[in-house]
């Protein structure tokens, strides 16, 4: 088991459960599932990496959540959305974006990449992860 704790920010309970299962299948622990800015903020201190959807229970607040988690808590954040084109520009502090539907091998590669860069490595971003500047 790795030391990383993954925060899943997703308001669809089925998608969140699937993502949690994928994350744990790769040996990562989840810090919890948040469906809004407030719940993400409450779980942030117990997390090191966050996978954040754009549209949450409280609206299209995912980008604000991602920026907040990265800037205030130092989390490595990747946006996970069905509409990655909506994120035309980078979000300050957010690593990048991947598309839904999520596929287990992609999530595993993204988590390994994030873990590597958190440890100070350069890592090789997996195909399908669009990095922000």
Alpha carbons within 13 A on the beta-carbon side of 67: 10
Question: Which pLDDT tens digit goes with each residue over 36-81?
Answer: 999 999 999 999 999 999 989 888 889 999 999 999 999 999 999 9
Residue 105's φ and ψ, nearest 5 degrees, are -60, -35
**Using CA atoms, how far apart are residues 59 and 37, in angstroms rounded to an integer?**
10
Record the tokens describing residue 107, joined without a space.
Answer: 């999530």
pTM as predicted: 0.94
Residue 101's φ and ψ, nearest 5 degrees, are -70, 145
Dihedral through CA 109, CA 111, CA 114, CA 119, nearest 10? Answer: -110
Sorted by where each begins, the domain ranges of the chain are 5-131
CATH class of segment(s) 5-131 = alpha beta
């Amino acid at each position: 088991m790795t030391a990383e704790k993954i925060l899943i920010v997703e308001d669809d309970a089925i998608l969140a459960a699937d993502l949690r299962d994928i994350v744990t299948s790769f040996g990562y622990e989840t810090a919890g599932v948040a469906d809004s800015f407030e719940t993400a903020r409450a779980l942030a201190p117990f997390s090191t990496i966050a996978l954040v959807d754009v549209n949450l229970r409280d609206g299209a607040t995912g980008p604000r959540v991602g920026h907040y988690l990265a800037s205030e808590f130092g989390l490595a954040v990747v946006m996970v959305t069905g509409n990655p084109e909506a994120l035309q520009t980078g979000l300050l502090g957010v690593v990048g974006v991947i598309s839904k539907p999520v596929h287990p091998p992609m999530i595993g590669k993204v988590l390994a990449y994030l873990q590597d860069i958190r440890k100070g490595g350069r890592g090789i971003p997996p195909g399908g992860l669009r990095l922000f500047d």
